[in-house]
Amino acid sequence: MKSENDVGRVSVKNGRYKIKGKFHIIEPNTPIFDDNGKLCGITNPRDMTYIHSYGGEAIFFESLSKGKLMASRCDNPKCESKDSIFMPFRIYCPDCLRKNTVIDITDIAKKTAMIHSFIITERSGAFNTLKKPIKFINVEFKDVCTIFMGYLSVGEPKIGMRVLPIFQTKKPTYTIMDISWVPVGTPESELPEGFTL
Amino acid sequence: MIKFSDKQLKIPKMARPVYLATSGMSRFGRAFPTLRTEELCIEAFTAAADFIKMTPAELKQYIHTAYYGHFADHFGDQLLGEAVIHDRLGLDPLGTIGVKTGGATGGSTIWEAIKAVASGYSDCALAMGWERMDEVPTDEGNHLIACAADKDWETPLGHIYTGYYAVMAQRYWQIFGKAEDSFRKTMAEIAVKNRGYGRMNPYAHGGMKITVEDVINSPVVAYPLRVLDCCLMSVGAACGVVCDEKTAYELTDNPLRIWIGAGSHTLRVADRRDMKIPLLPNEEPGLYDDLGKRFPGGDRYPGFSSFLAARIASYYAYNMTGVVDPCEDLDVIELHDAFTISDIQSYEDVGLRPYGEGRDYIESGDGYHTNPKTGKPGRLPSNLSGGLIGCMHAVGATGLMQIAEIGYHIWNRWAEIHGDEKKWKKFGREKPKDWTDLQVKGAKRGLAISHAGVGSHVTATILMHPNHLLKED
């Protein structure tokens, strides 16, 4: 891990990215030899940090840190998908391509969220920070036309199980990891560190 | 979109017939520490030239444009890898382009080549695909594959693509498989079948003689999927050369007709809205009216249990070629068996069985070279190459390998390609003592499905012997 001072940080000033800290670490290449000591290749170390814009979805990720789940809705009276609510959040309606209205569905989620499908896996890729086994769940909500993917932090998932959203409000990462789910009735004391109902 | 206009459902038309003149493959393996990618591509191209008794230099004289499928630049840390291969094949200054559609990259690559020939732009085009998945540690490889999911909404969740995919398997398993032991056994039968066929294929690196119990007792990856239910991670290359009629018959006296349909659906499964099931030519209106009653929870389409992209690709391809019932009209198929359960899901999407009844394709014995129940030839054998589970999944090459394998059956040269002792030896593999000729006798028509991830892109390629077309041009 980089030291706190070395962590790459970015801000925006006058419409431009300003970067501070280390964005890549240089390591030497090392040779790869075969069983007979003959050269057959080389390692190419790469340690980089990307800079990424959330654009019109920034409000979704920022709202998670405030304990809110924001979706979007097509309000175009001329669109055949008018009133469709999208979660995952879509900036534009996929049918009429008019900008959707941002709406707060935290209460809908609290009242109606239910597991549509799930999977439990011990496997993960590099850079994973979720605790294993990972309990992936897909969550359906009343009146929402799509199905949200997340992870269950407490209990064992089942199709049809009612769940509640919890939010990383104390130490937000400003990523999708800031929302998780627990079975209805889970006491606050059982929530993972930093999460609130 | 969840409703489609007539214009969108128009059956694709090719301005002139297109032929597959030849195909070739390299050996496939989990890793090739002593081979560069270009060596594998040249091996595949040379095999394609050998197949029609030409030298590579002679075959190159016919090629006018080249299409390269290579999904994951970041695996090889090489952008414009296509330009490297094009140069190493000595095809500069011909026009070339790279194609990337995840697991469907091989199919999409030949889609581009076919369109180039069909339009008259080129009389002969090369489609070449490869993948290099051995040059990062496995966990980093898992992360890189997970980058094919939505980077903000999915990838941070475990950095493991299997997790995003397996939720679909879970839903299918519980709704349509009813979580039954018998369904679990049928899934395992697919792994046994495909790994068994892989044993007869010298190009394959996943061949195994295993039992249903071996599959069911193998380590869990994401329940109900176990290690032996899952496809391989591979390195290798495959290619095909497509031509107009005149050029095809200059290259060989036995070219095959080729058509292709393509479909797509959302990158995130989460975004899939409920819609009416588009019907294939062998399905009557009303067929699915009671699907939700027969399979409670199964009334949302495509939901988490079906692949709309595969259905649409098949819709286009079947209507282009006159295929009505694939089990009647086709002789051999290669499906994208990324997982045993997704193989079953595909049986329904491509119309081998109606939605909800995919398991019957295996349980009836139809999908085998030799039906285990009757001892007679299977009605429509699938994945005799071993598929992604038993042969390979070198992503950019997979769709082209499938097309080559279907071609070898229709060319009636499967045994020659797979049985040659020298080839087994050259690839460092031992030919099994019980090696079996899996040639589908009298094969005239076949289908290959090339499929990306959770179903974002799918192509359906149909090959036919020119004397056995189903429909006049």
Instruction: Locate the DSSP E strands across chain A.
Output: 9-13, 16-20, 31-33, 39-42, 70-73, 85-86, 101-104, 114-121, 134-140, 148-151, 163-168, 179-183, 195-196
State how far the Cα of A101 lies from the Cα of A93, in Å rounded to an integer.
Answer: 9
A87 Cβ contact partners less than 8 Å away, ≥ 6 residues apart: A69, A71, A105, A141, A144, A146, A148
Reference B362, options B195, B187, B224, B206; nearest CA is: B187
> Which residue from A118, A125, A176 is facing B139, i.e. has the nearest CB?
A125
Closest listed residue to residue A71, CA positions, set A21, A97, A107: A107
Query: What confidence category does residue A2 fall into, taking pLDDT thresholds of 50, 70 and 90?
Result: confident
Which range, of A131-135, B161-165, B311-315, averages the lowest pLDDT? B161-165
Instruction: State the Cα–Cα distance between residues B84 and B98, nearest whole angstrom.
Output: 11
Region B409-431: what's the mean pLDDT? 98
Measured in angstroms, the CA of A152 and the nearest CA of chain B are apart by 11
| DSSP H helical ranges for A19-133 | 58-64, 106-112
Rounded CA-CA distance B37/A172 in Å is 43
Residue B59: closest CA among B254, B255, B251: B251
Q: How far apart are CA A19 and CA A49, in angstroms?
A: 11
Establish, for the pair of chains A and B, how many residue pairs have beta carbons separated by less than 8 Å. Answer: 142
Give me the number of domains chain A comprises. Answer: 2
Together in a domain, A171 and A97: yes
pLDDT digits (tens, 9 = 90+) for B56-80: 999 999 999 999 999 988 888 889 9
Question: Radius of gyration (Cα) for chain B, nearest Å?
Answer: 21
| Separation between Cα atoms, residue B209 and residue B217, nearest integer Å | 15
Rounded to whole angstroms, the Cα distance separating A160 from A145 reads 17
Same domain, yes or no, for A39 and A109?
no
Same domain flag for A153 and A87: yes
- The shortest C-alpha distance from A154 to chain B (Å) reads 16
- Alpha-carbon distance of A65 to A195, in angstroms, equals 10
Query: Are residues B142 and A125, on separate chains, in Cβ contact within 8 Å?
Result: yes
Count of beta carbons in the 10 Å neighbourhood of residue B319: 18
State whether A23 and A107 are in the same domain: no
- Using CB atoms, pick whichever of B2, B153, B160 lies closest to residue A121: B160
Describe the crossing of helices B81-88 and B37-51 by its angle, rounded to 10 degrees.
50
The span from the CA of B437 to the CA of B416, in Å, is 9
B3 has a pLDDT exceeding 80 = yes
> CB of B170 within 8 A of CB of B341?
no
User: Confidence band (pLDDT; 50, 70, 90) for B192?
Assistant: very high
Mean pLDDT for B265-275 is 95
Asked if B162 and A121 come within 8 Å (Cβ–Cβ), the reply is yes
Instruction: Name the residue among B221, B218, B315 with its Cα closest to residue B264.
Output: B315
Residue A13 has pLDDT above 90, yes or no: yes
List of E strands, A87-162: 101-104, 114-121, 134-140, 148-151
pLDDT band at A4 (very low <50, low <70, confident <90, very high): confident
**A143 and A89 part of one domain:** yes
Domain shared by A29 and A95, yes or no: no
Task: Pick from B150, B160, B305 the residue to mutate for testing the A interface (most A CBs within 10 Å).
Answer: B160
Instruction: Examine the pLDDT at A176 and tell me if it is beyond 80.
Output: yes
Instruction: Look at A124 and B272 and tell me if their CB atoms are within 8 Å.
Output: no
Residues A127, A143: one domain?
A: yes
**Which of B153, B229, B300, B341 to probe by mutation at the A interface, max A CB count within 10 Å?**
B153
Query: Phi and psi of A117, rounded to 5°?
Result: -155, 170
Least confident of A107-116, B215-224, B351-360: B215-224
Q: List the one residue out of B337, B433, B363 whose CA is nearest residue B103.
A: B337
Model confidence at A46, pLDDT cuts 50, 70, 90, reads confident
The contacts of residue B97 (CB under 8 Å, 6+ apart) are B67, B68, B82, B112
Flag whether residue B220 sits within 8 Å of chain A, measured between CB atoms. Answer: yes
**Residues in chain B within 8 Å Cβ distance of A81:** 2
φ, ψ of residue B364 to 5 degrees: the values are: -80, -15
Please give the pLDDT value at position B214: 98
Residue ending a domain, choose from A52, A78, A95: A52
Instruction: Give how far the C-alpha of residue B297 lies from the chain's centroid of Cα atoms, to the nearest Å.
Output: 29
Are A22 and A8 within 8 A, CB to CB? yes
What is the CATH number for A102? Answer: 2.40.50.140
Buried-exposed string A74-90: b where 16+ CB fall within 10 A, e elsewhere: bebeeeebeebbbbbbb
Q: For residue A143, what pLDDT is reported?
A: 96
Q: Is the pLDDT of residue B149 over 90?
A: yes
Chain A neighbors of B151, CB-CB under 8 A:
52
Q: Residue A125: CB partners within 8 Å, gap ≥ 6?
A: B139, B140, B141, B142, B143, B144, B145, B146, B158, B159, B160, B161
Q: Binning pLDDT at 50, 70 and 90, where does residue B223 land?
A: confident
A52 vs B contacts (CB less than 8 Å) = 151-152
Contacts within 8 Å (CB) and 24+ apart, B33-36 = B33/A32, B33/A34, B33/A40, B33/A41, B33/B134, B34/A34, B34/A40
> Any residues with CB less than 8 A from the CB of B229 and at least 6 apart, and which?
B187, B188, B191, B215, B218, B221, B339, B340, B341, B389
Q: Do B139 and A124 touch (CB under 8 A)?
A: yes
**Is pLDDT above 90 for B427?**
yes
Distance of CA A164 to the CA centre of its chain: 17
Judged by a CB distance cut-off of 8 A, whether residue B8 touches chain A is no
Closest CB from A123, A159, A176 relative to B157: A176
The percent of residues in chain A predicted with pLDDT above 90, rounded, is: 90
| Residues A87 and A35 grouped into a single domain | no
User: Is B146 in Cβ contact with A95 (below 8 Å)?
Assistant: no
Q: Which of A117, A147, A149 sits opposite B157 (nearest CB)?
A: A149
Distance CA B19, CA A195 (A): 60
If asked whether residues A129 and A36 sit together in one domain, one would say no
ipTM (interface pTM): 0.91
Same domain? A69 vs A38: no
Q: Which residues have a Cβ under 8 Å from the Cβ of B177 and sit 6 or more positions away?
A: B183, B184, B187, B341, B344, B359
Which residue among B33, B160, B304 sits closest to A125, beta carbon to beta carbon?
Answer: B160
- Write phi, then psi, for B398 (nearest 5 degrees): -60, -50
Q: For B57-85, b where at least 16 C-beta lie within 10 A, e where not — what string?
A: eebbebbbbbbbbbbbbebbeeeebbebb
pLDDT for B335 equals 98
Domain end call among A52, A69, A88: A52
Neighbours of B53 (CB within 10 A): 10
Residue from B81, B69, B171 nearest B110 by CA: B69
> pLDDT at position B354, please?
98
B6-23 per-position pLDDT tens digit: 999 999 999 999 999 999
Residue B340 pLDDT > 80, yes or no? Answer: yes
Q: Which residues of A touch B157 (CB under 8 A)?
A: 130, 134, 136, 149-151, 176-177
Residue A131 shares a structural domain with residue A181: yes
Is residue A1 pLDDT above 80, yes or no?
no
pLDDT given at position B73: 85
Can you tell me whether residue A17 is helix, strand or coil?
A: strand
At residue B200, does pLDDT exceed 80? yes
- Its domain, for residue A4, covers 1-52
CB contact under 8 A, A177 and B157: yes
Cα B318 → chain centroid: 16
Contact A147 B159 (CB under 8 A): no
Which residue does chain B place closest to A52, by CA atoms?
Answer: B152
Region A1-27 average pLDDT: 89
User: What pLDDT, in 10s, does the model give residues A92-147?
Assistant: 999 999 999 999 999 999 999 999 999 999 899 999 999 999 999 999 999 999 99
**Parallel, antiparallel, or unpaired: how do β-strands A9-13 and A114-121 relate?**
unpaired
Q: For residue A5, what pLDDT band results from cuts at 50, 70 and 90?
A: confident
* DSSP state for residue A100 in the 8-state scheme: P
The confidence score (pLDDT) of residue B165 equals 87
> Do A47 and A61 belong to one domain?
no
**Residues facing A76 on adjacent strands:** none
| Cβ atoms B402, B385 nearer than 8 A | yes
| Nearest neighbour of A126 by CB, restricted to B139, B154, B223 | B139
pLDDT band for A62, please (50, 70, 90 cuts).
very high
Distance between CA atoms of B132 and A150, rounded to whole angstroms?
A: 31
- Judge contact between B349 and B307, C-beta under 8 A: yes
